[in-house]
Amino acid sequence: MLPGKDGDKYVPYDKRSGGESVVYFTRDLSADGLRKIFARVAQNLTGKVGIKLHTGEPHGPNIIPRPWVKALIEKDLPGAHIVETNSYYEGDRYTTSDHRKTLKINGWNFAEVDILDEKGTAMLPVKGGNWFKEMSVGSHLLNYDSLLALTHFKGHVQGGFGGSDKNIGIGCADGRIGKAMIHTTPGQPNQWDIAKEEFMERMTESTKATVDHFGKNISFINVLRNMSVSCDCEGVAAAPVVTPNIGIVASLDILAVDAASVDLVYALPDKFHRDLVQRMESRHGLRQLSYMKELGMGNDRYSLIDIDNGDAKITPAEAVKGVKPFEG
């Protein structure tokens, strides 16, 4: 079985085909900005809500600020739980007990944090997948009626970039079985031997299992801030941030929200986006987008709606016009 090709090739917007989804955009990188854009995609989040976000390694410098998430939960999602899974690599989130210590260090003490694989795993079907028929996730995921993927968009050492696809595909797969299914060929000594297009496809099929499970009761927000080429799983060892902060995007379409995030990065001047684009292309990470489209997970064409300016429809180039160099 051969994986798809050309994960290192960016497809410009005018070369894409198919329908359009709606993606909301704000430049307001604050708790208020997050709450305002959340309101645009909140309509289908009913019942018991899980918020899937990356809570980070100890003292991780680039994760979504805790006060933003606290304000969102207290004012807009009372009773919602932050949901996470244990890591596949040995470290400070490998066991549930160590993971909880890290949560405390990083200040995630204002809401219930549910480690989904604390009490075991469950299998979700993968519809139409080439690699999997089912995916192993943390069993507690099935306790939720709705899911908000609240994602820090950034680079990733294996995936090229980490958007909503990575947040769900890796982040809901349990730490021992599901993540191994995505990362490792059985019997290989290198637990990271699966890479490039095959990795993107496996991760995306994992995402599809969770997205299909929640149906219409799932929303996606990507925060384009502190975008190191390194994932938040690298903690204080993450590469310095050089890409400017851009804003926040949100959609009911996972492909559209990740495609818009990638487009916003590519729309930056070359001197600003060079490192992050190189990370995306060198890892063949753009296969995430084309494979989501092949699996029928959404549209890579969209209307970008500027909620800061009367819901005007804008282009990514207009959205990033005037961005300032990153200041740590």
What's the whole-number mean pLDDT along residues 255-282?
Answer: 97
Domain residue ranges of the chain, discontinuous segments joined by +:
13-319
How many other C-beta atoms lie within 10 A of the C-beta of residue 270? 8
pLDDT at 328 over 80: no
With a CB cutoff of 8 Å and minimum separation 6, the contacts of 120 are 139
pLDDT reading at 3 higher than 80: no
Q: Which string of b and e fits 73-99 if b means at least 16 CB within 10 Å?
A: beebbeebbbbbbbbbeebbbbbeebb
Joined together, the tokens standing for residue 16 give 């894409």
Query: Which residues, listed in sequence order, are joined to residue 251 by a DSSP beta bridge?
Result: 23, 220
The SS3 assignment for 101 reads: helix
Binning pLDDT at 50, 70 and 90, where does residue 168 land? very high
Q: What is the mean pLDDT of residues 286-295?
A: 97
Reported pTM? 0.97
CATH level 2 (architecture), domain 13-319: 3-Layer(aba) Sandwich (3.40)
CB-based contacts of 167: which residues, under 8 Å, 6+ apart? 52, 53, 54, 149, 150, 151
User: Judging by DSSP bridges, how do beta strands 160-162 and 154-156 pair with one another?
Assistant: antiparallel
Render pLDDT for 224-254 as a digit per residue (tens, 0 to 9). Answer: 999 999 988 878 878 899 999 999 999 999 9
Q: Is the dihedral of CA 245, 156, 274, 21 positive or negative?
A: negative
pLDDT in tens, 62-96: 999 999 999 999 999 999 999 999 999 999 999 99
Mean pLDDT taken over the chain: 96
